[in-house]
């Protein structure tokens, strides 16, 4: 009876599937039992026999079989990748309209005193840059921050005249809050603004995967003004926020304006800047059509022949500058996400139902794409293999980050890039 007990466990013992104690007991029995030892050897032989002596032969058959399977394969997955997911801009224009309308109402009451600040744009443009692109953010001084703030507080009215300027002033105002905080002693309402901004940065990803015309345009406008690194958040803030958010921004600016005593010097400084900003506006008007203001237009810009760009008066350097700035901005944006958020990228593929994960992942994926776009253009312009590697690296990250749709898009962009590069190379060879 006892022997049968151990015999029944021989198979599991042979497979090393018994628990430690049981294994030891069975082993002890086997050492003293010839019958079990013989059976164990037979198990081993059976195992080897069926593992090693059951390989199939017949080479011709396998080749035919492989060819048969190959012919049954679907066409290359690449062939399916044609469609680009269009940006979902539904409802954004309504929000923008709402913000603009509320600001316009405020503007009616303060219009008269604003005329002199009409075209205010921070004075950070170097004289060398004559075209569309803005100076580096480092060129912005604390003074200019203060002046901008004053501008916001006193002249939100511009919107009625030119909506672009409205956007600039509001976004600048909001972004300025962070750097100004340590220098200004008593800022009455810094916290609400800060909170609003944080919330918006998070939400911005969840609702939108691709740039909308409005967002992209605003981003560019801000870029022109030497906007700060976290520009996307600011743009998102403008786009996403309701009238209430806009009011908070303006109130924030007004309160900091109280800190400034020398109003005359500010007025003088502003008047000097008016002419410069007008010059820049005219340059911008020429080139605005080249700025990708939506996913669709982005596609068009990608495929725009180089000649047409040069015809519109944009120099290669300024274009390079723009795309490099885009890379830098978005790399900074990536830093906004904690490591935890980046880790969300993995679970998102398995469990897309978690909204929090999804929004973080979407935004990170989108940012990867933005960086890719930057490197993409830089690589095309400079023909630098390192830049190309970077572009492809970020493209891969973008493709990996999300669903198959995005991967398809990424592959599509890669294809487009290769085609474009070949075109350029063949043109250069000629």
Binding site for other proteins (CB under 8 A): 8-12, 15, 17, 42-43, 45-47, 49-51, 53-58, 61-63, 65-66, 68-70, 72-74, 76-79, 404, 407, 411
* Beta carbon of residue 43, minimum distance to other proteins (angstroms, whole number): 6
Q: 288: helix, coil or strand?
A: helix
Closer Cβ to other proteins, 60 or 112, answer by number: 60
Residue listed under structure tokens 């509001």: 170
Closer Cβ to other proteins, 43 or 106, answer by number: 43
Closer Cβ to other proteins, 102 or 409, answer by number: 409
* Beta carbon of residue 385, minimum distance to other proteins (angstroms, whole number): 20
Query: Helices 213-224 and 92-110 meet at what angle, rounded to 10?
Result: 50
* Beta carbon of residue 54, minimum distance to other proteins (angstroms, whole number): 6
Closer Cβ to other proteins, 14 or 368, answer by number: 14
* Beta carbon of residue 409, minimum distance to other proteins (angstroms, whole number): 13
Closer Cβ to other proteins, 53 or 339, answer by number: 53
What are the two backbone dihedrals, phi and then psi, of residue 99, each rounded to the nearest 5 degrees?
-65, -45
* Beta carbon of residue 88, minimum distance to other proteins (angstroms, whole number): 24
Reported residue count of the chain is: 430
Closer Cβ to other proteins, 360 or 399, answer by number: 399
* Beta carbon of residue 109, minimum distance to other proteins (angstroms, whole number): 58
Q: Which helix (H) or strand (E) holds 271?
A: helix 263-287
Question: Which residues does 379 contact at the CB level (< 8 Å), separation at least 6?
Answer: 387, 388, 390, 391, 417, 421
* Beta carbon of residue 297, minimum distance to other proteins (angstroms, whole number): 28
* Beta carbon of residue 345, minimum distance to other proteins (angstroms, whole number): 13
Could you give the CA distance from residue 101 to residue 304 in angstroms, rounded to a whole number?
35
CA-closest candidate to residue 344, choices 331, 355, 333, 329: 355
* Beta carbon of residue 58, minimum distance to other proteins (angstroms, whole number): 4
Could you give the CA distance from residue 384 to residue 375 in angstroms, rounded to a whole number?
10
Could you give the CA distance from residue 260 to residue 391 in angstroms, rounded to a whole number?
45
Closer Cβ to other proteins, 57 or 186, answer by number: 57
SS3 of 364-405: the string is HHHHHHHHHHHHHHHHHHHCCHHHHHHHHHHHHHHHHHCCHH
Closer Cβ to other proteins, 47 or 425, answer by number: 47
What are the two backbone dihedrals, phi and then psi, of residue 286, each rounded to the nearest 5 degrees?
-65, -40
Closer Cβ to other proteins, 78 or 86, answer by number: 78
Rg (CA), the chain: 32
* Beta carbon of residue 303, minimum distance to other proteins (angstroms, whole number): 22
Question: Which residues does 304 contact at the CB level (< 8 Å), separation at least 6?
Answer: 290
Burial 119-144 (b: 16+ CB within 10 A, else e): bbbbbbbeeebebbbbbebeebeeeb
What are the two backbone dihedrals, phi and then psi, of residue 174, each rounded to the nearest 5 degrees?
-70, -40
Closer Cβ to other proteins, 73 or 82, answer by number: 73
Cβ(201)–Cβ(141) under 8 Å? no
Closer Cβ to other proteins, 65 or 244, answer by number: 65
* Beta carbon of residue 41, minimum distance to other proteins (angstroms, whole number): 9
Could you give the CA distance from residue 397 to residue 232 in angstroms, rounded to a whole number?
20
Question: Which residues does 134 contact at the CB level (< 8 Å), separation at least 6?
Answer: 124, 125, 223, 224, 225, 226, 227, 325
């Amino acid at each position: 009876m006892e022997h049968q007990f151990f015999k029944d466990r021989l198979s599991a013992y042979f497979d090393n599937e018994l628990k430690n104690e049981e294994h030891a007991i069975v082993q002890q029995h086997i050492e003293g039992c010839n019958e079990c030892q013989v059976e164990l050897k037979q198990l081993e032989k059976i195992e080897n026999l069926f593992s090693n002596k059951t390989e199939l032969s017949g080479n011709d058959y396998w080749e035919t079989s492989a060819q048969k399977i190959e012919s049954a394969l679907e066409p290359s997955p690449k062939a399916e990748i044609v469609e680009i997911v269009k940006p979902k801009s539904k409802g954004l224009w309504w929000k923008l309209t709402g913000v603009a309308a509320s600001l316009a109402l405020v503007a009616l009451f303060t219009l008269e005193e604003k005329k002199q600040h009409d075209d205010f744009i921070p004075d950070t443009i170097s004289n060398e840059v004559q075209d569309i692109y803005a100076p580096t953010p480092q060129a912005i001084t604390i003074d200019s921050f203060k002046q901008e703030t004053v501008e916001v507080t006193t002249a939100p009215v511009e919107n009625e005249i030119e909506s672009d300027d409205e956007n600039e002033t509001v976004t600048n105002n909001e972004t300025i809050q962070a750097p100004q905080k340590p220098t200004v002693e008593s800022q009455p309402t810094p916290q609400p603004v800060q909170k609003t901004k944080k919330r918006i940065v998070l939400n911005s990803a969840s609702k939108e995967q691709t740039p909308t015309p409005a967002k992209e345009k605003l981003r560019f406008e801000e870029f022109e003004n030497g906007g700060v690194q976290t520009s996307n958040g600011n743009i998102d803030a403008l786009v996403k926020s309701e009238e209430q958010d806009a009011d908070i921004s303006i109130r924030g600016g007004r309160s900091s304006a109280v800190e400034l005593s020398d109003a005359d010097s500010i007025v003088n400084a502003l008047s000097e800047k008016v002419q410069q900003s007008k010059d820049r506006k005219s340059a911008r008007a020429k080139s605005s059509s080249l700025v990708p203001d939506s996913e669709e237009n982005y596609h068009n810009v990608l495929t725009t022949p180089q000649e047409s760009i040069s015809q519109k008066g944009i120099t290669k350097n300024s274009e390079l500058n723009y795309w490099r700035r885009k890379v830098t901005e978005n790399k900074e944006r990536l830093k906004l996400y904690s490591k935890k958020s980046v880790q969300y990228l993995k679970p998102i593929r398995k469990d897309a139902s978690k909204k929090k994960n999804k929004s973080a992942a979407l935004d990170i994926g989108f940012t990867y794409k933005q960086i890719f776009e930057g490197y993409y253009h830089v690589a095309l312009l400079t023909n630098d293999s390192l830049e190309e590697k970077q572009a492809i690296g970020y493209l891969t990250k973008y493709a990996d980050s999300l669903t198959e749709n995005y991967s398809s898009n990424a592959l599509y962009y890669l294809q487009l890039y290769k085609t474009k590069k070949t075109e350029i190379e063949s043109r250069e060879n000629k």
